Amino acid sequence: MKKVTIITGHYGCGKTNVSVNLALDLAESGKKVTVVDLDIVNPYFRTADFGELFSDHNINLITPMYANSNLDIPAISFDIERLSNEDGYLIIDVGGDDSGSTALGRYKSVFDRLSQLGDIDMLYVINKYRLLTKKPEEAVELMREIEYTARFKHTGIINNSNLGEETDVQTVLNSLDYADEVSRETGLPVVFTSSPCEFECKRTKIKVIKRYVKALWEPDN
């Protein structure tokens, strides 16, 4: 991973769950990690919900000032310049779609500097099974809209196509052609394909992703 990793995608594609997994993986390997919750749109399924989990793994969590309160409004005050200059890794979990990525625009100068140094990735999370991005062309169109509002270009794709707890190996395999088409149309590499379990696949790198983000009606355990 690069020093700074920005995670974007469609609502419900699983980007927050991906962010949580990436942060925990880095922390478990002994790395210093900071997660920034930049979701100013959706009060549900956000990294701010994982404060206790992150604390247990010595992960620093920075959230909007009113996150998870009765005043959960879109107010942010992050010093990305300072955070990006600190030791360790920075993961930025962005709100869904182009409306969520608008918050990234204010940090364009910082991201441009990091890009010149090769210290930043902006990864687009795709999910074949989500409404409005079921077709590759739909996913590509949304990606372009996110880039326009973020004022920054993606560098890679994460294929996180899943059906929640019903996801199995066949679910993942059925998404590979979709991910390859998105990759071809955008010219971006598929960094990895997520899976609930490890299996051998010659077409893509498989990364086991644990489900931390669950539906509101699902029990925590």
More confident residue, 158 or 71: 158
The domain that contains 183 carries what CATH number?
3.40.50.300
Instruction: With respect to residue 187, please indicate whether it lies within any of the assigned structural domains.
Output: yes
At residue 23, does pLDDT exceed 90?
Answer: yes
Instruction: With respect to residue 221, please indicate whether it lies within any of the assigned structural domains.
Output: no
Domains contained in the chain, number:
1
State mean pLDDT over 187-197. Answer: 98
The model's pTM is 0.91
Say which residue the tokens 């394909």 belong to.
193
State mean pLDDT over 16-29. Answer: 96
Strand order in the sheet with 33-38: 60-62, 33-38, 89-94, 4-9, 120-126, 156-159, 190-195, 206-208
pLDDT at 86: 85
- What is the pLDDT of the chain when averaged over all its residues? 89
Percent of the chain with pLDDT over 90: 71
Provide the residue range defining the domain that includes 132: 4-208
Distance CA 95, CA 42 (A): 7
Instruction: With respect to residue 102, please indicate whether it lies within any of the assigned structural domains.
Output: yes
At residue 156, does pLDDT exceed 60?
Answer: yes
pLDDT at 65: 55
At residue 128, does pLDDT exceed 90?
Answer: yes
Instruction: With respect to residue 130, please indicate whether it lies within any of the assigned structural domains.
Output: yes
- What pLDDT, in 10s, does the model give residues 107-126? 999 999 999 999 999 999 99
Instruction: With respect to residue 151, please indicate whether it lies within any of the assigned structural domains.
Output: yes
3-state secondary structure 79-148: CHHHHHHCCCEEEEEECCHHHHHHHHHHHHHHHHHHHHHCCEEEEEEECCCCCCCCCHHHHHHHHHHHHH
Instruction: With respect to residue 213, please indicate whether it lies within any of the assigned structural domains.
Output: no
Distance CA 71, CA 58 (A): 27
- What pLDDT, in 10s, does the model give residues 60-101? 998 875 444 444 444 556 778 888 888 899 999 998 889 889
DSSP state letter for 199: -
Instruction: With respect to residue 28, please indicate whether it lies within any of the assigned structural domains.
Output: yes
Instruction: With respect to residue 216, please indicate whether it lies within any of the assigned structural domains.
Output: no
